[in-house]
Structure 1
Amino acid sequence: MAEKKVLVIDDSATIRKLVDTHLSPAGYSVILAPTAEEGLQLAEEVRPDLILLDHQLPGTTGFEVCQQLAASSTLQLIPVVVSSTLRKKAYVEYADLDNVVDMLPKPYTENLLRTTVENAIETAAMIVQSQTNGSAVPETIGETSEPDLAGHFSVFGLREIIDFLSNGQKQGVLEVEAERLRLWIYLDRGRVQGISATGLQSEETERIVQLLPESLQSLSEVLRLTIAGRGTAEFDGFVQLMDKRVLDPRLTAKLLRFQAAILIGIAMNRRLIGYQFRATSQFPSLQRDLPLEISLMGLLVEHSLYRDESELEADDPTLRYVRRAIRGQNLDRAGLSAKHMKIMNLLSEPRSIDELQQRLGWERDELRRVLGGFASADIVEYTRDESEGKFVAYETNSVAAAQLRNELKHASEKFVGKIVRDTLTLQLLVKRTKPDAVFFAVDTPQSCDAIREAYTSAEEAFGTARKIVLAPAQVVDDPNVPWQKLLGFEPDQVLKSPYSCETLIDTMQNLDAISAAAPSSDPVAAAPAAPVAPMLSIETPISETLS
């Protein structure tokens, strides 16, 4: 859209400077005239889109200037906004003039000035025409049709609505009504292209400005305008400033992304009332020329990076984070850095923040914030792990493994256990979960070979986990068994089989009492209390080989 021209006719240098200061950055071309004579001459030369006219001028009045404009065939359709400190007394005088479209009482605020000028320009032609012809004007301009989608947030959440529209590749504007806030979310090609808002209090806007990263501090004044800017003139003005290289498009794009992240975070933490979606191919210039192309998940993670410490989930080492997949949910990772995507790959298994920090080597604060963003997007869930330890049991016998798994389902949640039947799964699970203990059921020479190969090829993965062997009585009673040769390690403890799930649990309870050194000369004495039924009956041909 072409640059709109506003002619200001006012004898006050303060007023002329104020109008120029506030309207020029918003994209208007402001022409200034201190007298009626100069103003009328400039009106002929530049043919402005709007005249902002002072009621009291040297030697004349705004009323007389309006009459002269109306008498000119070339100037009679130029809309005029009259400004005066007299208010009602001045309003009456202009009631019968067709070219006067609005009044601007002095003193006025920056917002009132901008809103009045913007509305006058957008509706002026219609108002002047209707006043000249004596016809009625419509009550509203634009968006008079029914929305394509509307509803309340009593059933669906904001994330679900955005996911629905994004998954359907819908293009349009989602208007969200929240407590003391109205949000406009621009959607296209399954991505969020921009977000603006109205209803923010001045102190809220200032708090947002204070959150700007250092690289964007120079654009703080721009943010104050764009965060609530829906006016065409404002957006066109910024686009023109970028075209003139007054503003760096890359920095402006980062600013708009920051703005969108903060606004969506504010909305997610307020009481949501209702929404309306209108499909359209027309976006304001700023969203059209600088689309964000970002996912809701990317925005929520970025918002979490700026949240106050008090809003974060408590730094609780008992919390376990795990990735969740909801049918129909948009898992688009647009906007996430490669660094932050690493977390998603690690959360196929529940992990504590301590485990994640150890694996990633990140600052703990950043890790907590990214996890909080994922949780806000419902991509990650967390539970509190009250268990006192974790263990993995390697058991190749299918009957024994099935019985152990069944018993674990009904066992105390004090300890978390996994049963595996092959060495590859054993290596992966030990590497992922970092258990406190690993149990090895030894019943055949082949099982010894498999354990030795698995342990020696992934010794680091076993780390400091206690290594506990479950073997037939004949083997346990023999103090000369060459465990290092057979298994590749010296077990921390050797227990008799047959055994049960209770054997494993009892051993975990006594874990601190187990020596980290080689097994005692009497490994049976170090074993926990005898297991209770049901017992697992395992044949033990290994005893003959070991002898």
Structure 2
Amino acid sequence: MSHKKILVIDDSATIRKLVDTHLSAAGYELFLAPTAEDGLRMAEDVRPDLILLDHQLPGTTGYEVCCRLCESPVLKLIPVVVSSTLRNRAYAEYTEMSNVVDMLPKPYTEELLRTTVANALETAAMIVASQTQGTAVPEVIATVGDTDLAGSFAMFGLREVLDFLNNGNKSGVLEVEAERTRIWFYLKEGSIQGVSATGLREQEVERITAGLPQAIENLAPVLKLTLEGRSGAEVDGFLQLLNRKVLDPRLVTRLLLYQAAMLVRLAFTRRLTGFRFEAGRAAPAMYRSLPLDISLLALLVEGAVHDDPAGLPVEASETTFVRRAIRGQNLDRAGLAPRHMKILGLLSEPRTVAELAGLLQWEPLEVRQVLNGFEQAELVQTAARSEGARVVVFESDPRIAQHLRTVLAETATGSQFKVVRDRLALQLFLKRARPEVLVFAAEDSEACTQMRELLAAAADRLSDAKYVLITTEAAARDAADVWRKRLGVVPHQILARPSTTEQLLAAVEKVLEKVAKEPSREVASPQQVAPARAVNPAPAAAASAVANPVTEPTAGVQ
């Protein structure tokens, strides 16, 4: 906080209260005087850093107060900002006053008040010194105060900045600029303790207040008090009520959670310009008393759930969502409801809102809201709906699996291929999806036993699936009954080692063309399914996705 002392000398109770409200929220310590005599006495006692002086006072004027201040060797060095509705007519009187550094026309906005006070405090000492001593004012003013981290949002997003602070367990205050609005994130060891703002438009305050959940809607007056992070006498009284347990802290915590969520959502939907982070700077008493200890992801989802549904983006019914992975992305999920975590578990493959709603037994609106929060956190992205069949390839060799992924990603197949490397990954996939084709390797008795157990456990998910088996050339000639005994199923296609990616794709395409209900066994050797062209002009050992067991590690089931 600033801790600068501001003395306001103004006979209007309304003006004094408004100035106290707005400047206290910015961290200034306010002293209020209704008359010139009270103001002069207070200036002697308090020695403020700045005086905000009304031109028209009961029985006197601001000009006479300035003259009285200049009579004191100490008080004459206090900078004064004069405020009046008379504008130029009043200001002309102060042109020769050495302690007057700026003018503030009435009526003024909150933003103008804060800007004028901040500028006056920054330059006042040099201006007063130059006017009283005749020294020159430097053209370049040194920066006041140190910032540990600052920058613009030209290249970095707000999520990236908050992720960086979270990953580093940083404590302090992050100030984010959004045109005339300032949004303040109070952090402790990387977790968000609370969020407030200054400079909100009146309609924004009303919209946020109107959206309060029913359980805390009677706290709307409190929300208007806390929303802009005020730290004056009103908030001090509010904290006293909390300390005396007149107010339920659980309800107030829910209020501050809602406030933080809506301000975070506002920050992610507004054009941001710059940011500055002050490490070690303490949060206001409100957020120290009732810290949220929550993640950015949880706040984004909370904001999307509580915001007006009319603001949600409109997607086509066939639009699908899939989880995305970003290198270095923060994994903090603190405060995210277990209910909402379920959606992330279902997005390993593209799904529509209708599909997710059916699987979760939720209303589609809630699914859309949670997805919107995940999108803002950049955890999910939309994907084009593929009409092709889902094909899962179980390949335990990491090098072969990676080669398969690369080749399949570069090959237009018309099917959705998923390559998994271990049994657990396959089991998880089968819990979430029903593949049309399962490709797997089984070249010895142990691999067959493990695969039989896995297929039996997932029988309900594989009731309509077709199987492509990869095995040795000798085993590929075994009868159907032999394979039924080994695996519990009869493969629809068998690929003998060595075989290429094109041969695998041809085998998958062939089983997808079958219309018979009962499985029929066909053996596809490399000679029977010859590729029309090479998928990769590299040597066969490198181009083979299902590799030769003599020259490459055996692709077995682990």
TM-score range, shorter chain: 0.5 to 0.7
Query: 1:386 aligned to 2:386?
Result: yes
Distance in 2 (alpha carbons) for counterparts of 1:79 and 1:403:
72
Residue of 13, 23, 43 corresponding to 1:16: 13
Distance in 1 (alpha carbons) for counterparts of 2:87 and 2:421:
88
Q: Which residue does the alignment assign to 2:296?
A: 296
Q: 1:120 to 1:270 in 2, by over 3 A?
A: closer
Q: Write the mapping of 1:244-323 to structure 2, written as runs, cut at 5 A.
A: 244-245=240-241, 250-305=250-305, 306=307, 308-309=309-310, 311-312=312-313, 314=315, 316-317=317-318, 319-323=320-324
Q: 1:143 to 1:214 in 2, by over 3 A?
A: farther
Q: Which residue does the alignment assign to 2:190?
A: 190
Matched to 1:416, the amino acid is Q
CA shift for structure 1 position 240:
0.6
Distance in 1 (alpha carbons) for counterparts of 2:286 and 2:204:
23
Residue of 237, 241, 250 corresponding to 2:237: 241
CA contact (8 A) 2:183 2:196 kept: yes
CA shift for structure 1 position 41:
7.3
Q: Which residue does the alignment assign to 1:540?
A: none
Q: Which residue does the alignment assign to 1:533?
A: 530
Q: 1:24 to 1:332 in 2, by over 3 A?
A: closer
Q: Which residue does the alignment assign to 1:111?
A: 110
CA shift for structure 1 position 207:
3.9
Distance in 2 (alpha carbons) for counterparts of 1:422 and 1:123:
63
**1:322-379: per-residue Cα shift (whole Å, max 9, x none)?**
241413x3222223223223334444x3241455444433333222332332232233
CA shift for structure 1 position 293:
3.1
**SS state at 1:165 partner:** helix
Compare CA radii of gyration and give the structure with the larger one: 1
**SS state at 1:235 partner:** coil
Distance in 1 (alpha carbons) for counterparts of 2:388 and 2:159:
36
Q: 1:402 to 1:144 in 2, by over 3 A?
A: closer
User: How many aligned residue pairs are there?
Assistant: 502
CA shift for structure 1 position 414:
1.7
Matched to 2:238, the amino acid is M
CA shift for structure 1 position 458:
4.2
**1:283-326: per-residue Cα shift (whole Å, max 9, x none)?**
45555555443333333333333265454362544524124141
CA shift for structure 1 position 52:
6.1
Q: 1:238 to 1:414 in 2, by over 3 A?
A: farther
Q: Which residue does the alignment assign to 1:542?
A: none
Distance in 2 (alpha carbons) for counterparts of 1:273 and 1:403:
43
Q: 1:330 to 1:45 in 2, by over 3 A?
A: closer
Distance in 1 (alpha carbons) for counterparts of 2:425 and 2:116:
70
Q: With structure 1 as the length reference, what TM-score do the two structures score?
A: 0.66
CA contact (8 A) 2:431 2:461 kept: yes
Q: With structure 2 as the length reference, what TM-score do the two structures score?
A: 0.64
Q: Which residue does the alignment assign to 1:161?
A: 161
CA shift for structure 1 position 268:
3.7
Q: 1:31 to 1:326 in 2, by over 3 A?
A: closer
Distance in 2 (alpha carbons) for counterparts of 1:164 and 1:401:
33
Distance in 2 (alpha carbons) for counterparts of 1:494 and 1:171:
60
CA contact (8 A) 2:33 2:42 kept: no
CA contact (8 A) 1:7 1:52 kept: yes
**1:27-63: per-residue Cα shift (whole Å, max 9, x none)?**
6989786xx6xx7479869978778656253xx3335
Q: Which residue does the alignment assign to 2:372?
A: 372
Distance in 2 (alpha carbons) for counterparts of 1:116 and 1:420:
59
CA contact (8 A) 1:315 1:368 kept: no
**SS state at 1:321 partner:** strand
Q: Which residue does the alignment assign to 1:66?
A: 65
Q: Write the mapping of 1:343-422 to structure 2, written as runs, cut at 5 A.
A: 343-347=343-347, 349-353=348-352, 354=354, 356-392=356-392, 412-417=412-417
Query: 1:507 aligned to 2:504?
Result: no
Could you tell which deviates more after superposition, 387-396 or 334-343? 387-396
CA contact (8 A) 2:420 2:426 kept: yes
CA contact (8 A) 1:126 1:137 kept: no
CA contact (8 A) 1:3 1:237 kept: no
CA contact (8 A) 2:148 2:278 kept: yes
Distance in 1 (alpha carbons) for counterparts of 2:309 and 2:432:
32
**SS state at 2:315 partner:** coil
CA shift for structure 1 position 389:
1.8
**1:126-181: per-residue Cα shift (whole Å, max 9, x none)?**
79996997588999999615644444444433333333333233344444445565
CA contact (8 A) 1:323 1:344 kept: no
**SS state at 1:244 partner:** helix
Distance in 2 (alpha carbons) for counterparts of 1:438 and 1:243:
62
Q: 1:323 to 1:145 in 2, by over 3 A?
A: same
CA shift for structure 1 position 505:
1.7
Matched to 1:242, the amino acid is F
Q: 1:369 to 1:136 in 2, by over 3 A?
A: farther
Q: Which residue does the alignment assign to 1:541?
A: none
Distance in 2 (alpha carbons) for counterparts of 1:418 and 1:31:
70
CA contact (8 A) 2:110 2:199 kept: no
5+ residue gaps, structure 1, are 537-547
Q: 1:76 to 1:30 in 2, by over 3 A?
A: closer
